[in-house]
């Protein structure tokens, strides 16, 4: 029935990151589309669960230890700041996405079993 679902925009819509026109379009689509609305409800539930997770501060020595281990393995770097950004981008930003995915999977399994 709907050829242009809004699934790609649901997370941004949930976090109020869309401009007014796009937000209105997504809201209107959600009124009429049961499939996208169900997916949006799952995203909202995952966000609410993630909001209850504790924030844990990494030890101050973390980056120094990582750099020393990379040096031990023969990895040469010229700009430590660039190395830190690159390392963080590759390994630590996907963590919230993985947590959200795990929460959504858990919700899906729980919904299936109930």
> pLDDT for 66-90, tens place per residue?
888 888 887 765 555 555 555 555 5
User: For the chain, what is the mean pLDDT?
Assistant: 80
First to last CA, the chain: 29
The model carries a pTM of: 0.47
Please tell me the distance from the alpha carbon of residue 88 to that of residue 98, in angstroms, as a whole number: 15
Please tell me the distance from the alpha carbon of residue 101 to that of residue 46, in angstroms, as a whole number: 8
Q: So what's the pLDDT on residue 1?
A: 43
> 25-44: per-residue pLDDT in tens?
999 999 999 999 999 999 99
User: How many Cβ atoms sit within 10 Å of the Cβ of residue 24?
Assistant: 11
């Amino acid at each position: 029935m709907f050829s242009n679902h809004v699934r790609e925009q649901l997370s941004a819509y949930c976090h109020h990151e869309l401009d007014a026109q796009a937000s209105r379009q997504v809201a209107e689509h959600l009124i009429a589309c049961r499939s996208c609305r169900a997916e949006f409800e799952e995203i909202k539930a995952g966000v609410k669960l993630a909001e209850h997770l504790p924030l844990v501060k990494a030890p101050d020595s973390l980056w120094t230890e990582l750099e020393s281990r990379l040096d031990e393995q023969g990895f040469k770097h010229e700009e430590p700041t660039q190395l830190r950004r690159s390392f963080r981008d590759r390994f630590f930003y996907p963590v919230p996405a993985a947590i959200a995915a795990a929460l959504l999977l858990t919700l899906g399994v729980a919904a299936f079993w109930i």
